[in-house]
Amino acid sequence: MLEQGLMINTSRLMKTINESANIGKLSRGGICRLALTDEDKEMRDLYIQWLENIGLQVSIDDFGNIYGRKEGKNPDAAPVLIGSHLDTQPEGGRYDGILGVLAGLEVLTALNESGVTTDRPIVLINFTNEEGSRFEPPILGAGGLAGHFDKEFVYSRTDREGKTFLNELKRIGYHGSEGNRIQNSHCYLELHIEQGPVLEHKGLDIGVVTGIQGMDWLEVKITGQSDHAGPTPMSMRKDALYVTSKIIQLLQDTVVSQNEEATVTIGRLAIKPNSINCVPGEVIFSVDVRHSDDSVKEQLCQTIIEKMSITAAAEKVSIEINKIWETSASRFSEELIDVISETSDELGYTSKKMISGAGHDSKYMNEITPTAMIFVPSVDGKSHCQEEFTSEEAIEKGANVLLNTVYKLANA
């Protein structure tokens, strides 16, 4: 049952969201706050002030993850964890990731304001480099904490300028201690915008997330022949971009025809020599394949590789295909899913169980502790763009579900 009168302060939560949106602000209202940049440091510094203002114990681990701990009646009990991330895409929105962190801050503020001390401690976490838009792969902070990535791997990641994760972590002053890593936990919860159109399209308040799709990333290199655009007849060209365009269409058709749930995305493309009057001789592009069933994903990925190879051979160009990242599908805790669903119902909110098509910090936290997520609607399904928007009403409902779910679990 709900604790009577336990609700978040919506105006206070929106104030922190709007204030945070001034750090790394872009011309169309979006945010550029890449991991371990000066903008990330500015946001982290402000966030720590907010944690300290409500009396939380603040610590930082060796991956730069920030912890804010509210003590419980039993300080030795395994804590309930809440978390997400403060970093953004290069042209990101003001809700992706940070909603979960600041809603968690509001949860702890509301508990303090109500004079509530839970049986278990509650720990709020900001994870480093969830987006992966500066240091690849994504979700490095949570992955390092969970032991999915070892420290040397995380520290050696470089950005496009050759700067390492470790050096940038030290530069901004957030290289903490390995001893500050969270050692045990009761469970982990994450509130997040959906980043897709389903909840809004169905007119629902809350998404109760049952798991995360698995994904494979491929890097493909097509090598043809770079020639002069004028003297080279169309019939004698080995145009790498033309072949790439055929492959892109083929992949779209293959995935759409084979599986309704699966997705394929070609998100990055590099053309050489990239000159207006040269036939492209080389193209390097990425392929992102996702599905909630790992066996289906692997079969689809193999089909895609075979079809790309056949197309390249038919067009008499060479092809190199490398799998640069792979992650399996996740299944969240049924017990936590039930608590979130029950809480949504008790608050009078409509909800549905759904799979997440995007990766989140929950992906790796799920490997070390029972985990679940709460989604709120994204207007027009937009995210990873400056137009990303979630309404104040939706934020209020999601934060209230988080608050009351945390209260139940921290007293379990």
Tokens of 142: 């949570």
Q: Which residues contact 324 (CB under 8 A, 6 or more apart)?
A: 217, 218, 219
For residue 218, what is the enclosing H or E element? strand 214-223
Selection from 267, 320, 5 nearest residue 132 by Cα: 267
Selection from 224, 193, 242 nearest residue 385 by Cα: 193
Q: What is residue 386's three-state secondary structure?
A: coil
Q: What is residue 70's three-state secondary structure?
A: strand
CA distance 192 to 100: 5
Q: Residues 220, 319: contact at Cβ < 8 Å? A: yes
360 assigned binding-site residue: no
What b/e sequence results for 97-122 when a residue is b if at least 16 CB atoms lie within 10 Å of its CB, and e otherwise? bbbbbbbbbbbbbbbeeeeeebebbb
CA distance 49 to 337: 33
CA distance readout (Å), 138 to 129, 157, 278: 6, 11, 35
CA distance 292 to 215: 9
Q: Residues 157, 136: contact at Cβ < 8 Å? A: yes
192 assigned binding-site residue: yes
Length of the chain in terms of residues written: 412
186 assigned binding-site residue: no
Selection from 294, 304, 201, 204 nearest residue 252 by Cα: 304
Q: Write down the residue that tokens 């992102």 correspond to.
A: 288
Cα 100 versus chain centre, distance: 11
96 assigned binding-site residue: yes
- Residues at the annotated binding site for Zn(2+)? 85, 96, 131, 192, 384
- Residues at the annotated binding site? 85, 96, 131, 192, 384
